[in-house]
Structure 1
Amino acid sequence: MECRPCRGDEMGLLRELFVAAVMELTGGEYSLEQRRAWVSSAADKVEFCARMEARQPFVAILQERIAGYADLQPDGLIDHFYVAPWAKGQRVASGMLQHIEELAQSKEMTTIHSFVSLTAEPFFLQKKFVVVEQRIATRAGVTLPHALLQKVLTLKSTRESLPR
């Protein structure tokens, strides 16, 4: 799997991946009504693509296809983090998170955080994030429970980079 910046002509594919991921992968924790409300933010394709372009996401490529996408904002927020249903269980999320942590460390960030769905929470907890706060969002008049999670990053030792 490789991670690279998303190209402008791929933004529409991210919209399709977002809708598929929410609708197909979160059914164990969210009702159909909640999932429909969640994806309502992608109803306007032009608006969704403009929002994604502003976030400057990267894509994870597996088997020559976009298997997931995510972003890292300047304040350490991981705003979008989605894996394609066909790529579930193929370590795409782990690879994307590793890429995010490397990006964050290259920018000397000390923490990263995300508003995480009930579905994704076990994954992030396994990756040493901690729950800061349980929250409720409202989308299209429907409530969606989620949590704010945070991870403190350890800076790589400068000793490792010094010549011996």
Structure 2
Amino acid sequence: MVIEEFKEVYLIEILDLFYKTVHTINSKDYNKNQLDAWAIENPDKKIWLNSLEKNVSYVARENNKIVGFGDLNNEKYIDRLYVHEKYQRKRVASKILSVLEKEAKNLGYKEVYTEASITAKPFFLAKKYYVLKKQHKHHNGQVFINYIMKKDINNM
């Protein structure tokens, strides 16, 4: 597996991975209306591209296939971290997160934040993040329970 910086050519594959991952992996914790609001079928490609290019964004590739991606914005926020449904529990997210945390440290950040889904919360807890707050977040007409989580990276 190779971790590399995001390139525009990966956008369509990332959007497909995001949609399928949310609609399969997160389906045990969220209902269909929530999943449809979270990952819409035809997202605005320009918005996604601008966001991924602006952020520190990485993909994980194996056999020329994107198996995961993640990004960090300039507000010390791990915005997205998603892994292909067939590559769950194969350390893909761990490897991407490690690269993002190193980048954050190189940028001088002392901590990073994320909003973890119910599904992702145990993963982040295992990576030494802690819950700052449980929240009911409104998005596309639905309410989601998720968790604002933080990790101190100063002593990494």
> TM-score if structure 1 supplies the norm length?
0.87
- Please show how residues 2-21 of structure 1 align to structure 2 within 5 Å: 2-21=2-21
Contact residue 114 and residue 149 of structure 1 kept, 8 A: yes
Structure 1 Cα separation of the partners of residues 31 and 133 of structure 2: 22
Q: How big is each residue's C-alpha offset from its partner over 1:113-132, in whole Å with a ceiling of 9 and x where there is no partner? A: 10111100000001110000
Higher strand proportion, which one? 2
CA separation of 1:57/1:64 partners in 2, compared to 1, >3 Å: closer, same or farther? Answer: same
| Root-mean-square deviation over aligned CA pairs | 1.7
> Could you say which structure has the larger radius of gyration?
1
Equivalent positions of 1:68-107 (< 5 A) are 68-107=68-107
Tell me the equivalent position of 1:159: none
Tell me which residue corresponds to 1:123: 123
Structure 1 outlier segments of 4+, above 6 Å? none
TM-score, normalisation: structure 2: 0.91
In the alignment of these two chains, the number of paired residues is 156
1:143 matched residue in structure 2: 143
Q: Is the 8 A contact 1:38 1:139 kept in 2?
A: yes
% same residue: 26
Give the C-alpha shift of residue 54 in structure 1: 2.8
Gaps of 5+ in 2: none
Residues 55, 74 of structure 2: 8 Å contact kept: no
Identify unmatched segments of 5+ residues in structure 1.
157-164
